[in-house]
Structure 1
Amino acid sequence: MEKNVPLLYKQTLLVAFVSYIVLCICSPQNSFGKQKEEIQTIREGLKNVPENSTQKVNFLIEYGRYCLEKTGELKVDLDSAFAFQQQALALGKQLSYISGVADAMILEGKIYSEMGLQNKAIVQLKRAFLYAQKHKLYAQQGDFFINFTQFHNNELSGIATKIGYYIKAIQLYHKANAQEDEATSRKMLGDYYSIQGKSNEAIEQLNLSLKIYQQIHFKDLQGVYNIMSGVYMQMGNYELSIKYGLMAARVAESLGDESLQLSSIYNKLGLNFYYLQQYKKSLEYWQKAAAIAEKYNDADYQRTILSNIVTSYLKLKQYKAALSQLAFIEKKYPPNDFYTKGRIPYLYIMIYLNLKQYEKAKPYYQKVLILNRSEPKENIHQMYINHAVIRYLLETKQPLKAYSFLIDQEKLSQGIRNNKMLYENYLFWFKADSATGNLPEAIKHYKLYKSYSDSVLNADKTKQISNLQIQFDTEQKDKNILLLTQKSELQNATIRNDRIIKIISISGTFVLIILLLLGYNRYQLKKKTNIQLEQQQLAINQQNELLKRLLTEKEWLIREIHHRVKNNLQIVISLLNTQSAHLHNQDALEAIQNSQHRMHAISLIHQKLYQTENLATIDMEWYIRELVSYIRESFDIDKRLSFDLMTDSIVLDVSQAVPVGLILNEAISNAVKYAFPKGKGEVKIILKRESKTSCKLSISDNGLGLPTGFDVEESDSLGMSLMKGLSEQLEGTFEVKNQKGLTLTVIFPIKSELEHSGINI
């Protein structure tokens, strides 16, 4: 097993992650609280500015951008964004507000892009650019180039094109004195340079970005620090990488940033610990990064973090866990680009080589060879492919085949000017020369290995010694200053007369007595304060115990209420059953039977509530199956009808579960009684999530359907009226389709008891 982490692998881990962060930093990462504050400011602005003014145009554009960029991808947000943009465009033209018109035109192009209408977006953005160019609007021309980057991928040619766009945008923003836009563009340009492996150019742009941000007192600097940390890691300067990584974490945490950016920061800290061979620590940071990333459910991001976790398992010799994690990645997040298609086989090769299972490593070695032939040599991801191939060939006794990869690896290593990568490659080269009996070349490459490895180690030691020397010199200087001060005081004391010395002595004694008295007083106060704190803590503990007992009693009472409600409903059902024995009118009997079914639907809910630990919510999947079972028994269906249940595991509170249960009871009962007069049939019940906040309930049958001319809106049917009313109670939509049977559909939002009561959650 390797003793050191291969730097070429480190580089590619970082580069892949940085390429993803390019997208993350460009996208809005605001928390809900920040979004709420932003929209409140925009609404206040719209309310207070004059109707026909340029200020209103600006606020309408801001409102449109907010709707476009807010968290979530709802059609209603896109529609709102388009409506505000159109209002801004019309008012801007009416007022001849040139820059407002240009901003509105650019926003329209962005909206088309978000809608998936890429061709229309390109045409609109070009139209906006020509308008801005005609009126010499430099900032809006810069906006055009920034927005046009989205139409190019993150492969080599796409990145080169994006870099060209960002350079043009920076020139235009600088000309327009749009400092924040210029700083953001330089940050992104630095990020793309780092993806290309141009570390020096990346650092230059990032430093310029940071300088501008600081000049305008911009607070959200964690993005710049995070990218700088990544670039220094790519250069092998772990001291500066850790410095900027910690700065990024400190800024993000102080601003309450819980976005993917924080996950990125944790990821880089994990990488630094990985490079320092502290694999348990790196695993902890990557697991923290994965926990944040999981909330966003982004496949590319999850694949990167989880692959990093595999590398920790590999170094910790937890091969079973590593293989299990790789299988999970391949199943849930299959590779979709050159980097990920190469990284997964690379990891398999490393694991099987460590296990000395060369036959299992062979198919993955062949995969990376195919990738090696299909990708351009200047691609930075080529480095870890070379590493995997070289190591496999050396360990399987094929050193002659390794030479072409060693030469290529040397060029790539020299290209990014990283001595550590070079000495690792020269060590491989020495092993290949030794295996082929080429002793002069072996000696040459071993000397190169020692030279570069010593230079790296000596550079690190020199840096540490320099830091210690600076610290020591500073401390020594402080001591010298203190000694000189004391000497000066002694010299001054010798020229004073005896009287002054006596006064100083008396004053010192007096001050000492005062200090002793103050110290004793503080001691008494502290003692008294400690006694008070102990009493307060005792009172708090007693109050906590009381609250625990009250909570237990409350839960018992709620459970007892549900139990009694269920029993009372059963009593009413029994009373109705007894009453029906004395009735001979068929309509009355049917009305009583319908009422019994409805009460049983409600009774099931309360039965479930007091039988389970959760006293407020119902698992609707269980409930629907129980209700269908009850209806089967009540109508004695046997095998005449079949029920097809397709339900998600959805939990509703009582306020929504009761109307849903009554709708289900009414719809299923009607289908059983009226839909199949000639015999067999099927009833299909579907309950599934439409989105994170809404549900869809559908009950359909393949029976006769509604009579011709039946109007749902004009119908005086109790069942239909009841279902419509219950749908309104759920704040949902009720729809009836009479085609090849009858389908009833209710779409409603999922709400909690607190929301029903008007309390903000």
Structure 2
Amino acid sequence: MEHKLFNIISLNFTIARKALSVLLFCWLNVYSQYNKSGYTDIARQRLLVHITSDYLHTISQGQIDKDSAVRASSRLYNLSILIPYNETYNNGTTNPAIKLLEQDKVNQAKNVLPNLKGENRFLLLLELSNYFIFKTGTQKADLDQAEKYLEEILQQKKWDKWKMGAMMLKANLLNQRGSSDESQKLYSEIEKRCNQSENNLDLARAFLEAGKALQYGNPQRLVYFQKALSIFQNLKEKEKEIETLSQINIEYFIARRFDDSQKLIYKILQLQKEIKYHHNQYAFDVLSYLSYRKGDLVKALYYSNKSIESIQSKEDSIFKGLFFLRRGQLYQHSKKNQEALFWYTKALENKTQETKLYWYKAFLSKAWVLNELHRNNEALTLLKKTASEFPPVTDFEKMHFAFILGGTYEKLKKVDLAEKNYSIFQNIAQNYPLQYVHDEFPAAFFQIASFYQNIGKNDKARQLLKNGISHTFEIGVAEKSQYYYNLFKIDSTEKKYNDAIKNLVLSQKYKDSAFNKEQQKKFAELLIKYEADKKDKNIKLLHTQNQLQLIKSRETEREKNILLIGSLLLIVIMCLLLYSYIIKQKNNRKLEASQRELDQKNNFLESLNHEQQKLLKEKEWLIKEVHHRVKNNLQMVTSLLNSQSTYLKDSDAKMAVKDSLRRMQAVSMIHQKLYHDDNISTIAMPQYIDELVHYLHESFDNENQIVFKKNIEAINLNISQAIPLGLIVTESVVNAIKYAFLEKQNGTIEISLFYEDKDNIILKIADNGIGLPDFTNKADPNSFGLNLIKGLSKQLKGSFSIENNNGVHIIIKFTHLNN
């Protein structure tokens, strides 16, 4: 009793501990699994994911694909990975199965599907397709699964939002498969159906998605985006208007329409303000870059400040390395290398493999600035150490690492190593997609050109300058100054003084426009203002921290209350578990009594079964004994007939006795096989016919003039069919041996037994002898044999036919009786 009580307590303690773990897990989920975007409406949540992913995809310059960028953005703000692509059919609806998908528990979500019907099933089918289509990469297995789910909806006859959503997803799926033309045809079909149903919102969405599906730089992209923009503006869908304008802005960037891009971003910022969208850091960062390209460092610094100020949450700060990088670049181009070094170092805080995309450019820029400060060995150490911890993986990382390493070796006067690494950069850069080429490419070519000019390879230097220009339609002011200064140095060494002077003037002109004294003064003033604002913000921050402390104390109190409620809930659970245990024990006792009764019945059935098995074995033994005795009796009769034949004088009588002996032997062989085989009901025909023919061959063909060919399928016949068939074979073969081949000529007898179909069997016996004689004499033994075969065929309930075609062909067709 004490032992049982201890077991009960141990069991309940284990259950309670697990329950408490579950409770704590759920409690932690409440505080960790929540929306971190700052927006309660799904429209702005979707916009945030699209804007953030577009920025990441563009800033990575081809290092991550769009699907990866979208998922990274969704995970960052703890938003559903499904919402960027499901607005056609889902405006925020969720359920347990969809939540499993959002947590990447796809197999569990799939297991729910068979239990769903109607709209819930359609919704899950679409979300499963959504999940697999936009999963990172384009694995065929993922796309095949998505297509399977979509087809169930597309086969519906009714046209509704589910079918529209499926068509939109199918168009994306075709594009992911590489079938761009088919994808565009499907978007055209969607456009047609939307026009018929006057569904303007989905029409605009279709235009937007059709444009996104095309390659960057395709003129049709802008056509689609402009159509979508017009409809979204009429419908006052401002979030979608911003998303569409952002896509147009990407096209302007690729086409190097930087003035148009700047105007567009001002419009985007105004719309973001109207809908209270506060993630403006990406737009301000682009404005900072555009201002720097124009040589307006003051505006560039202003927008850089604005982008950093827009970082409001822990999640936003994940990308801070990119904004600190921009700040460092502005200091570097203002010849403030120490300040630039500070910001690059700040961008490298807490660097990890997962955040490599956000700090790797800052690491390369830091090494470059160290070279500018003549701290070349320090730069080399930084490059080697970082490459050891975080090896360059993407083409972008490899070529830019090689470029900075080449520049470092150039500063250290290690010309061979410098040229080797510069060559690595050039080899990768020449195949890099043009849509991902930014200003650092021409700047790198100009730097390498300067290296070759310094070592006396002017032709190589000129070619590199041309390469630098060809990578973009327009280069920035600073790059233009560097380009013309390189040309000035080459012309000077080649004594082309007129060209050298012209190029020097142009270089100075662009340099002055970017770094004139007025700009430098405004730049410094802006920095002072920025630092002053920063101090004011720090004071406000202290006040905010006091408020946060108060909030934290309230949170602590709330946590205590939750823990107390959890403890009470745990006690209730333990009581319920104890009660359920008592009930279970009572039920177990009833089950044990039922089990004993069931065991008694099972024992009785087992004894009956044993007795039945014993009777079956006795029956089998008796049947075998019958076959054995029949065989023995047949052999006794055979012996008597054989003895009697020696006293017969009439040859016909002797022949009749021998024919009878042969037929009895055929029957005896069947009973012998049934006696020796485990199977006492059927005869395996391949083995039986083989033994029968062997016996007949030895009995009648002493000189081996006849060849037997057998084609017997694996057919088992019961005794009622095996005996007539054996007698037919015996009669047919003996007749052929005796009458088909005269004057001891060689011949062939073919025996075939096969299924014509699943129910009917054909026996065919053919020889190549002299053919059929005239059987008009009824006393002829050969005629008697054929009559016997006919009679046996009727016993088989089959048909008999005989042909005279280069020999005798006997064909018996009968139905196989089931055993």
Normalising by the residue count of structure 2, what TM-score does the alignment of the two structures yield? Answer: 0.44
Question: Bigger radius of gyration, 1 or 2?
Answer: 2
Normalising by the residue count of structure 1, what TM-score does the alignment of the two structures yield? Answer: 0.46
